[in-house]
Structure 1
C-alpha cells in the first residue's frame, strides 16, 4: 500500500449480515478523519463501491459468496481504484484463511476481534498511523517478563508501563487504550505527559505536578495521586494514579494504574450544584439566574452538549427562550414567539405532546422540517427535549439538549434530562407562585378594607346573637337540672316500687302463715282447757312444721333479695385493686362453672390471651363474667325450651388502644329485638316468678361502667344466640 495521502478515499465500508459495532469503530476512526458506512447485503456493498471511492471494505464471509468468495473480487472490480478487503469470519479456520488469500483479501480477521484492534489494523494498513518503532536500549516485549505482560493485559484496570525519567510508554493494556481512545501503536509512540493537558486545574504545569508526584513515590511518602488527563478527543478525564516503581538491573520502570474518577467527580458536582440551586429557589432568586445556573450545571456533565430552557407563554401556544448560555443567541431569538404543535421541532413538539421527544438526526427528521435550515446553519444535528410539567395537564416549558453530531441519548443522558426537568419545574412553579402572591398582596388591602366593614357589622350581629344564646343556655341549664332531678326521682320511684314488689310476696306469705298459726294456737289452748286429745296435738304439730317450712323459705327468699339489692349501689369497695393476669381470673372462673356446664351438656369454648395484664379489680371482673355466664344458662339455655344443646364462647384480646376486648357469646335462644333496649333496667326480666329478679345485668352494667371504667355492648339474633362485648381499660380509673 503506498503512503497515505490527503486525496485518498476516507470511507470505510462495512458489509455484514450480522450485528456489528459500527458506532464504536466510527468513534475510533473519526479522529483520523475517516467515515464509516454500514450495509447488510452484497448488492448494497457493490452499489456503494461503484458510487463513491472507498478506502477499505470490512466484508462478512457470509456475504462473500460460495467457496470462491466471489464478492471480494467483484468489489475490487467495481472500484475505480485499488480496494483492500478485510474478510471477517464468525468461525475462522485455516482452510477459510487460505481461500480468503486466494480471493485477494488483504486480511482475514475473526468477527469478534475487538473494535480497537480492528481500527488499529485499518489505520496501519492505510498508513494513517505508523507502527511503534523499536527504540535502542529500550526494553521490548521480547525482553519483558511474559508473566507481567499477561497480568497487565488481563487486568480490568487501565495500566501503563513507563520508563522513569523519559516517561515513555513501554506497554499498555486494552483498558488503557479504551480509556484514552487510542490504539496501542499510538500510545507506544507517546509518553505519559502527552496524555495530560499542559496545565492542571490549579494552574501548575502538568509536567511539574507529575514530577513532584513521582518524587513522593520514590521517597515512599505516597503512592496514589490525582491528575487531570484527557481523552484523544480532547475530553477531560479526572484520574487517580497509583504508581509502583519496578527496577531491574538494566531498566528503571514505573507501573502506573489509572482509574477514571470523572463520573465520581461529576456526580459530586451535580449533587453540590443541585443543593446550591435548591437554596437559590428557597431564597427566591430571579428565575433567569436560576435557569442559567441549571443549564450550566447540566452542560458541565455533558461531553460537548448544549442545553436550553424554553417557557410556554401565558397563551399556551407560543414559546420564548429562557436560558441557553452556550447556544447561538441569534438562534435562540429566532425561536421566540414560535407556536407549539405536532411537528414543531423537538421543544415545540414535546410541549404539545406532553412527552419526551428524541431527534437523533435533525437533517432527516420530519419534526424539524420548518426549522431545519436554521439549526444546520449553526451546526446543530441532534436535539432531545422533555416537557416541564406542573401537573399531568399543565405545561410550563421544556428542557432540551443539543449536539453537533448525530447522536441518541444514553441512560445517563436521560437521567440528567429528568433531573434538569425536575429542578426547572420547581424553580418555574416557585416563581409563578411568588408572582401570584405578589398580585394577591397588591389586591389584598382593597379586600381587607371591604371585608373589615362587613366583619364589623357581623360582629355586632354576633354579639347580639350571643346575648340571646347566653340567655337560652341559662334557661336550658335550669331545664336540664329539673329534668335530671325528675329522672332521678322517677328512677328512685321505680327502684322502690321494684323492691317493694319483690319483698311483698315472701313477707306477705310469711305473715299469712304466721296469722294462720296464731289462730290454730288459740284453738289449741281452748282444747287444752277442755281436755286435749292426742290426735289434736299431733295435728297441730304437723301444721306448725308445715308453717315453719313456709315461713323459713319465704324469709330466706327475702334475705336473698336484700343481699342482691345491696349489690346494686356499686362503689368499688367490694373488690381490691391490683395487677393481675387476665388468664388467672378466667381460669378460676371457668373452674367454678365447669361442673354445671357439663351437667347441662354445654360446651365451653375459651379463646383468651392469658398473658394479658391488667391493673384493675379482679373480684368485680370475675363477678361480671359469672353474671354473664349465669344469664346465658338461665335465659339462653332454658332446658324446657332448648334441650341443653349448644356452646358458650369466652374470648379476650388486646384491642391495641389501651383496652382489652372481652366477648362472651352463646348459641342459645337469643334476645328479642324489643327487649334489647331494656336489658340493663333494674327488675326487667322475662322469667318473672320462676327465679329471675331482673337485677343480674343491671348489676353487671354498673360494675363495668363504674368500678372497671369500661363499656358493655349487647347484640343478638333471636334463635341464634346472644353476645356481650366488654371494652375495659388495662388500667382502671382511680
Structure 2
C-alpha cells in the first residue's frame, strides 16, 4: 500500500486558504514565502485578535491553519492553543524549543511543533503537507480514503523537482518515492520501497558513525518535530557515494506515522566547498612561505580528490627556459619523475615538454599511439597511464615556469570539470612557483648584499680606526687650543686690566699731580714764612702768603673734586645691582620725567628732544640703572654727535617687539661715527675728544648696565654725516 496525499485535486471555493501568523514578533521572510506559495497571510500580535480571526463566518476569509508563537500561547497549559485548535489546525513555533514544551503543545491540541530558527521554505512545506493531510484537497469527507490518498499524493511526488521519499516510521520502509529519487539512487521504485533507509547508505558515515545508528537518530529527531537540514551520506547503486541533505516533515493521521523526506544531492557543493577550502589553505601556505614541494604536493592531492581516478603532476622549468628540473607527483613513484629530470623541452617531447615549448595546452587522448610519447610508451604503460592533458604554467610576462598535467587511466578526452580543475591548479601553481623564484632571487640578492655589507663593514671599521686616530689627534690639538685660548683670555684680561689701570692712572694723574704741585709749592712758602717769622715777619709777606694760600686752596679743592668725580665714574664700570631698587613703572612717563632735567643741564645751544614712546609700555625693572644708561646715551649724542650744532635733534623712541621685548633707542642727527671707530665705542676710556672733560667710560658703563642689570642687549647703527642710533633691546620683566 502506498500512502500519498492528494495535491492534484482542485480545491473548492469554500476551502479556506488563509494562514494566520499569531506572534508578537515579525516574520517578514515567512510571510513572503507563504505568499509565494499561493496562500493568503494574516498577521496578529494578540491572543484575542487570533481568536477573532479564526471565527470569521465567510468561507473565503476563514483561517486554514494557525502558526502560533509559543510565547503567545498562554501559560504552561497553552490555553490559547487549545481554543484555536478547536477551530483550525495549529502549528506551534518556538524560538527556545524544548521537549517539555513540545509535549505541552501536543497535549493542548497542536498539530505540530516547529523549532525555530528554520528555513521559511521548510515551514511552508510543513504547512502544505499538513493542509493536504487535513482536509483541503481530499475529495471525500470523513475517514481517510487510502485509494484516493494514493493517487493524489503520488501526483504530488511526481511533480516535485526534488527527490522525495514517503517513509513509514513504524515499518522502517519507504511507502512511496518519485522518479527523482530513483534517478538519485540508481534504483527502481519497487526496489527502493523494499530497502530500509540504512540500506541506501554506506556501512559507515564519514564521521565513523554506523549508518543504521545515524538513520535511527535522524528518524527519532524527525518524529519529534525537529525541522532542520540533516546531513546523511548515501550510496548509489554503482557504489558512488552521495553527499545528501534531508528535510523531514512529520505526518500523523490516525495510526499512520509518516515522514515526508526531501533529499538533496549536495555532492557537487561539497566538492566545490572542499576545493575552495583547499585553495584558501594553499594560499595561506604560499603566504607563510611554506616549502614549494609541500605546496605542490598539497595542490595535486587537492585536485586528485576532486575527481577520483585522476593522477596529477607538475614539472618545473629551469630559468634557462629549456631544462626540466624537479617537480611534484605525490601519487606517483619517484622513478616516474626521475625519468623527466634534465629533459630538454621541444615540440615533440611528451605532453609536458611540448606544452612548455609551445606555450599552449597539449591534449593526448591515447598515449600509446601518440608520437610525442615515443621513448616513454613503456614508462606510461608501467604506471597504467592511458591519456594526458598538459598545460604550461606561465607568468604575466609570458615566462614559462613549468607544466601541470592530468593523467587518465583510460583512453579519453578531458571533461568540462577537468578544464575547471586544471585552470585552478595552473593558477595556484603559478603563484607558488613565481613566489619561490622571487624568494630564491631575493636570497641571492641577500647573500650578495651580505657580502657587500661585510666589505663595507670592513671599510667602515678601517675608516673608524682612522677616524679614532684622527680624533685622538684632534683631541690633543683641541686641548692645546684650549690651553692657548685660556692663556689668550688671561692675557686679554691682563691687557684690559692694564688698560683700565693705565686709564685710571692717566685720568687721576692730572688732578692729583696738580694738587701735589700746589701742595709742594705751599710747603716751600710755609718754610719761608717760618724762617721770616724768626727774623721778623712783615705784613706784606703775610699778605702774599695768604693770597697764595687762597689760590692754592682753590686749585686743590677743584682738583680733588675732579678726582672724586673720576673715582665715582670708575666705580660705575662694575654695576652694582644690590644697591638698585626694582619696581614697576610706565616707560613713557619715566622717559618724560628723565628728559626735562637732562635738557635743562645742557649748555646752549640745547638740542631739540623728540619723544616717540608708545603709550602704555609697562616694565618691571630697575629704573635707576635704566635712567643712567639713557642719560649716558643722551650726553654722548649731545657732546660727540651734535657737538654744539644749533639744529641738533635727539630722538628717544620705544616700542614693543613681536617677541615680547621692548626696543628703546636714542638717536641723533649729528656727525655720526667713522666705521673704523665703531667696533671700539664700548671700550673703557676710549674717547674721540680727549681733554674735553669726558673719561671715555660712558658707553662702557652703559653696555654693562644693559647687558647686566637690565638683562638686555645694545646695538649701534651709524654712518658718517647721517647721525647715530643706539638701540637697547630690553625685557619687560628684568631678570632676578
- Give the TM-score category using the shorter length: 0.3 to 0.5
Q: Which structure would you say has the larger RCO, counting Cα contacts within 8 Å and 6 or more residues apart?
A: 2
TM-score (norm 2): 0.40
Q: Which has the larger radius of gyration?
A: 2
